[in-house]
Structures are given as structure tokens and as C-alpha cells.
Structure 1
């Protein structure tokens, strides 16, 4: 096995030091290792990722092989500055190191071995000078990403809804035990001051690109474009307000960035049916209404047929698992009716609509049109790729269905 180290400090000695800490064996040897880059353009935005395989020999001559993924800060100078000032890495490390193990402990206490983990297992992290996080490689367990441009079908969406319902219910149970740790996730990059200019400017430019696309539509284009122009100038304030925990029916630790690239699926080897999902990328986690995750996911990740015809079915799937898990965990007094769930969901519709304008073009973009955040932050011209994303045929078809509905509801 050869060694390929895209990041120079990820050498054998560095890996050996980490593995000695992980295995509590000061004499462990790394005998072979391989480091390879992960993800193409349009796959990762707030981090750089590598896949690592390591063969080890422990002091008792036990040999093993470990498959890992490391996330570290992205290479661009401007993006690094924002990430280093944000809660992104500290929050994700806290989720993997503290929150997820507590979730599993809570579930295993009432139903030992029944529920699979929500994510990869935590291995190691560093928060100070060099921020990075190492977790297990889910690809080694045969999990893989769905095809983002196609959108998820109903079966994929239902299994995600069940997992999300259980994830949120377990958050409620942990909040009952230790409210301060759940509520400590006060902000994410949408709301914190350090990323305000970046988020505001990127959001405005993205919506302006959609506005330019809409303006050419016969009959309604000029009217809608005028309304979207007004929306683009206040979008950041709207998102901040909708993420506030005050006044919601049920607050949880939300994933915060629940789009198709941030979930991996496992399939039955014989039938090809999807039967498990794991969540990835918890950098946007924060304490907010459960409906924020639902709005984000439904407006970005299902194919449009599922979004148009099965939104209520997905909410019912989520609600059933939420209620079942709350009752299982002794939190039945926190349960909400399906009617209350729908009311809370609809109260956050503006957030979902905004995510459809910001995230959906990125998901459906061809790789050559993927967002380049470093170019944007460095003052480069991202307008052509933004315009290309806004004019993507699939995105335009979705907007032709959604915009008249949302204009009628008064969202813009």
C-alpha cells in the first residue's frame, strides 16, 4: 500500500501519534497508510476532506486496519478566516465527541441494540491551532451518497424522515437531562456576526440571479422580479429571525444543513432497496425549531414530484417516529399533534422558500457551475456561475411551480 499525502502534515508519524492516543498504546506502530482527497467541485464548501486508511501493529502484536475520514479547514485564505472565527468546527466536534454518544446511550438504555447510530463514529479531533475532525469512514460500511442532481425518491425521503424524527426526539430527551448542553448551540453561520457579511452578500447575489432569470417570464416576470428584489435585501434578517428558539412549539438541536450531500445511504445487496441512512456534516447545528430541518430538507433534497405530491406523507412519517420515540424515552408530555406540527412547519415556510432559492440551484448545478466561495470572498466574479445555476433547466421548472404558490401565500 502506497502513501499519498495531499496535506503534508498527514504523514506516518502524525498518524501514528494519533493512533497511539486512540488505542491508548504508546508503542503502537503504523505500518502502512494511504491518504486520498475526497469530493469534487460542488461537494464540500466549509471544509476540506480526505479519506485515510491505516494499518497498525499494537504492542501485543495485534494487527488492525482502520478506515477514517478527516475534515479540516478549507485551503482558501478568505474561507479559512471565516471558518476560524465561526462556530462551525467547534460545534461539529462537540456533536461528534459529546452529543451523539449521549444520544446513543439514551436510546440503548430503553432499547438495547435496536437503533443504529445517527452518524459515523468519532475518532479524534483538534480545536486549537489546526482545526480538524477524524471520524469513521462510512464508505467502508457500504454507505454512499445519492445522486444530488436527481433528487431523492420517496423511499429515500421516508427513511430520512424516520431518522430525523428519532434524532429530534432524542434531542428532547437529552435536553430534559442536560438543557444547557443542548442550548449551548446558540448560533450557526446563518446567524453569527463573524459571517454576517459573507452570508448577506452571497444570499443577495444568489437571489438576484434568480430574479434576473424570472424577469423574462411572460405576464408575471416583471411583477415577481420586483418582489424578489425586495426579498433579497432582507433575507439574512428573515433567516436569523426564523432560527430564533423563542416562541416555537418544540425546539431541538437541529442538524441545520440537511441537504442531499449531507446524508449517506446503504442499500440491500440483493434488491437494491434503501434501508439505512447516516447523517454527515454537523457544522450548522443549532438549537431551534424542529421545523427548520424539515423545511430545509423538503425544499432542497426530494425530487420535485415527491415535493409536490408527498410533503404531507413525509411530515406524517416524521411525526409518527417523533411521537413513538418521545413516548419510548419517557418524553410523551413534550409530544405535539400532527396539526400542531403542520402549523409549526408552515410558520417556517419562508425559511424553506429562501433555501429553495439559495441551495437548490447549487444542488442541481453541473460540476462546472458549482459555487466557488473562495473566488466570491476574494472579490472575484461569481456572477456568471450564479446565473448559470439560476438558469439550470431543472431549477427553472421547480421555480415555475413554486413561485406562483409562494407569491399567492405572500412570502414575497
Structure 2
């Protein structure tokens, strides 16, 4: 699907990657409508030529939202994500080498270029800001079906890499505090809330009435509704969790199926983490719980949820030693860390199920609609939620209740 978007001076943004001049650029959507809630993400193929040698460079281009009211929300996100790919990821790999890793982590896409503005004097993103990455799809990577999620083997592969990601930044924070504070933590900002509607009120109308009713339809969940109602009163959009050291680290903060790409090669699976625009400084447990509740296949959740919790713990502790960190974390302390984070992430996951089970290949493309109202759109989706979303929310509730996360 073609997109009517003007990409100004791409050659300047890609000057370290391109060989020659761009002779043709083909711009289409990277994903079908409905897969990206606000960001505009494009597939851009560039034909280049230099001294008779031709090359096609396959890229993914990320832009600020088209909607004016969301641009202010996402300006800091764009700035932070450009920092991530241009500076923080190279620092992470360099730090791994210093800690004696034989191979550095390969779960990040390659950055081809980026800029905050065509005006080099500007320090904040404007309408010409752009982030250009390699197109992983061309290399055989894909997103799994968000309606289904990951199987047991792939989930463990993801958790192994996630533990390295989390512990690596904890180690950097402890061993190189000035570097971490200046080059990493500065770019871990809480996302600005969306602007209120013109007529006042909340930009996201409260959907809890409909969520509780849907979950209560499940006989196993109905006795838990009073506890769940208290959990859902917690506003994870507006409340910043208390930071408890030493386990605060870089949290991806949007770690679910659509932001994890996989490539299967025989018995091996390669993993790439994408979309670092919402990274924050908080406990490792936030990413872990959100992933386990939103992105693992339902049958696997029912049978292997505790095994996956244990698996991450052992990988996390193993990385304590690999990064030579002089800390210890007992399994009981680890479970308590999860319980604290769950007070936010159970609500987050249940609310987010509306996005997970949103219509695929939707006719309505809200990423290009300048009048898009996400709050009312989300509320209408909740009111008409499909049976598979109701089932997943019930499973989330039961998983949380069994582990005391609703208490």
C-alpha cells in the first residue's frame, strides 16, 4: 500500500550508509493498517548508483505521527530512539566486550541513519526528523501472530536475551555510573500524556466497566472481580512507579509480540528487539510480566508460566556472573520484585489486550488520519471486544491471581 508522505533529503540522513546517489525511492507501508497505533512506519526501498555500480538498499523509516496533537507526545520519543540506535546500543556492545563477552548481543537492528531536523542547529525533533533502520523482513525476520503469541522454545530464547539486556544495563549503572547517567538514563523519560479533548475530560475514557463485565463472564474469574476492580483503579498512564535499587534498569516498556522479530533457522531462532521509543528506568520485572501476560501462547501460559518465570531468573543470575556484578538476588526476593511490578503490569496487560486483538488488515488507517481520536477509538474497541480477547483477559486474571498479584 503506497503512502503519500514526502521524505526530504534522505541522502543526507543516510550519508554513512549509501554508496552513490539515490536514483529511485519506493515508499509503501511496512505493516498493514492497525499494526502501529500512532507512529508512522514505512518501507522504503532505495535504488542507488555510483560509477555504474547499482545497489538496492532496503530500509524501514520511522517518522513522527501525522496528527498534530500527538507530535508533542512523540517528539521526545523520536529523540530518545535516535540516541538509542546511534549511541546507547554501541555503548552496550562495547561494555560487553570490556566485561569479557566473546560475542556481543545481536538482538538489535542496524541503524542506517537518522536526524532530528534538516537544520543541524536544532536540538529537538521537528517534522523532518527521521530514523532509518535496516529492513529485517528482507533478511527473513518476521513478527509472530499477535493473536497467538510465542511458543515455549521461542519464549525462552527471548527471555534469555531479555535477561542479558536488563543485567547489562544494571552492570553499566554500577560500574560506569557517570557514563550511564549521561548517555543512557538521560534518555529514559516517562512519555508525555496525550492532550485532553477540546471539550475537556480524559483523553482516554475509562473502559473498566466493560473490561470487568467481560472478565466476569468467566465463572472462574467472577469471584476475583472485586480484587481486579481495585487493580484496575491504578492509573498506569499517570503514575510513575517508585524506583527501588539496585534492580532498576533500562525497561523497554513496550515488550510484546509486535516489537520482537524472529527468524527461524532449523533448530535455531534469532531474535531482534525493535521500537525503543518508550524506554524507561524501572525494575526488570515490568518488561518480564508484560511479556509473559501478553505475548506467550495461551496453552503455554497455562502449563509453563512458572517454568518461564524460573527460566528468566536463572538467566538473570547467570548474567550477574557474566557481567561480574557483585550482587545477589534470592528467588524469594525475585518473586517479590515481580509482585511489586505486577501492581502496574496486570492492569497494563489487560488494557493492552484491546490492541493485541484489534482488527487485522483494517480498512481504517488511523496512523494516517490527522483527526484520529485514540481514546474514543479504544473505547469503541473495548465495547465490541472479540471472544479471543475475553478469553485472554480471563487467562491473565487467573495467572495473576494464582501468584498473588491481585492481593
C-alpha distance 318-382 of structure 1, shift in aligned 2 (>3 A): closer
Shift of 1:152: 1.4
Match in the other structure for 2:30: 38
Match in the other structure for 1:17: 12
In structure 2, how many angstroms separate the alpha carbons of the residues matched to 1:115 and 1:40?
A: 33
- Runs (5+) with no aligned partner, structure 2: 117-124
- Runs (5+) with no aligned partner, structure 1: none
Shift of 1:73: 1.4
Shift of 1:109: 4.2
Task: Classify the secondary structure of the residue corresponding to 1:266.
Answer: strand
Task: Classify the secondary structure of the residue corresponding to 2:171.
Answer: helix
CA displacement 1:190-228 (0-9 Å, x = unmatched): xx4x43859x9466533332024346667975x766665
CA displacement 1:336-386 (0-9 Å, x = unmatched): 233322221122112221122211232123335999687663775653322
Judge conservation of contact 1:102–1:174 (CA < 8 Å) in 2.
no
In structure 2, how many angstroms separate the alpha carbons of the residues matched to 1:371 and 1:57?
A: 34
Match in the other structure for 1:184: 186
Map 1:162-311 → 2, pairs under 5 A: 162-175=160-173, 176-177=175-176, 178-180=179-181, 181-189=183-191, 192=192, 194-195=193-194, 201=202, 205-214=206-215, 221=222, 231-236=231-236, 240-242=239-241, 244-245=242-243, 247-268=244-265, 271=266, 273=267, 275-311=269-305
In structure 2, how many angstroms separate the alpha carbons of the residues matched to 1:113 and 1:218?
A: 52
Task: Classify the secondary structure of the residue corresponding to 2:250.
Answer: strand
Match in the other structure for 2:73: 82
Shift of 1:35: 1.8
In structure 2, how many angstroms separate the alpha carbons of the residues matched to 1:103 and 1:150?
A: 32
Map 1:367-386 → 2, pairs under 5 A: 367=360, 368=362, 377=373, 382-386=378-382
C-alpha distance 240-378 of structure 1, shift in aligned 2 (>3 A): closer
In structure 2, how many angstroms separate the alpha carbons of the residues matched to 1:184 and 1:47?
A: 22
In structure 2, how many angstroms separate the alpha carbons of the residues matched to 1:172 and 1:218?
A: 43
Shift of 1:319: 2.5
In structure 1, how many angstroms separate the alpha carbons of the residues matched to 2:168 and 2:374?
A: 41
In structure 2, how many angstroms separate the alpha carbons of the residues matched to 1:410 and 1:5?
A: 45
C-alpha distance 196-307 of structure 1, shift in aligned 2 (>3 A): farther
RMSD of Structure 2 on Structure 1 (CA): 3.3
Judge conservation of contact 1:204–1:235 (CA < 8 Å) in 2.
no
CA displacement 1:227-279 (0-9 Å, x = unmatched): 65555444247x7243x32x2441111111001100000001xx4x4511100
Match in the other structure for 2:60: 69
In structure 2, how many angstroms separate the alpha carbons of the residues matched to 1:125 and 1:337?
A: 42
In structure 2, how many angstroms separate the alpha carbons of the residues matched to 1:381 and 1:361?
A: 10
Q: Which structure has more helix as a fraction of its residues?
A: 1
Match in the other structure for 1:363: 356
Q: Give the count of matched residue pairs.
A: 387
C-alpha distance 111-350 of structure 1, shift in aligned 2 (>3 A): same
Match of 1:117 among 71, 96, 106: 106
C-alpha distance 34-112 of structure 1, shift in aligned 2 (>3 A): farther
Shift of 1:151: 1.9
User: Structure 1-normalised TM-score?
Assistant: 0.82
Match in the other structure for 2:82: 93
Shift of 1:323: 2.7
